[in-house]
Copies of this chain bind each other. A is one copy, B any other.
């Protein structure tokens, strides 16, 4: 069965750009996380509930991005999100940012580690998380 992808669309706004006329690189991570929030909400695990209930804590331990072409104000961008890897107590989310004309503008990855309330790593990912994200796991990646 093919893995499912989650799509999220945004427009590059004036405040996203800088004096060089392009998307400021750091703001790509804001949009990646917006896509991740929308993804988690669709899975029935909205971050605001996880944070409020203080039970499943999934802080980022790694983030990276590669920039293939500049994005400018007014550009419409589609983010496709997939799960790249599921480990014992963490998972990796992969993002592709495509411009309107179909060209690849950037890719990004974030790794989320489940921790206990005292900040130590959890013994394992909660079943609720694992079950929810599994259908989005890319099968062509080593696990």
The CA-CA distance from A113 to B62 in the complex, in Å, is 23
Instruction: Indicate if A63 sits at the interface (CB-CB under 8 A).
Output: yes
Q: Which of A97-132 contact B (CB under 8 A)?
A: 110, 119
Q: Contact check, A73 vs B48: say whether CB atoms are below 8 A apart.
A: yes
What are the interface flags for A7-28 relative to B under an 8 Å C-beta threshold, 1 for contact and 0 otherwise?
0000101110111111011110
- Contact partner, A73, options B17, B29, B47, B110, Cβ 8 Å: B47
A15-B26, A15-B33, A74-B41 known; A64-B61 Cβ under 8 A: no
Instruction: Indicate if A135 sits at the interface (CB-CB under 8 A).
Output: no
Main secondary structure of the interface of A (DSSP, over half): mixed
**Residues of chain A at interface, number, CB under 8 A:** 44
A66-B61, A72-B48 known; A14-B22 Cβ under 8 A: no
Could you jot down 5 A-B contacts, CB within 8 Å? A14-B47, A25-B59, A62-B65, A62-B66, A63-B67
Interface residues of A, Cβ cutoff 8 Å to B:
11, 13-15, 17-22, 24-27, 29-30, 32-34, 37-38, 41, 46-49, 51, 57, 59-67, 69-70, 72-74, 110, 119
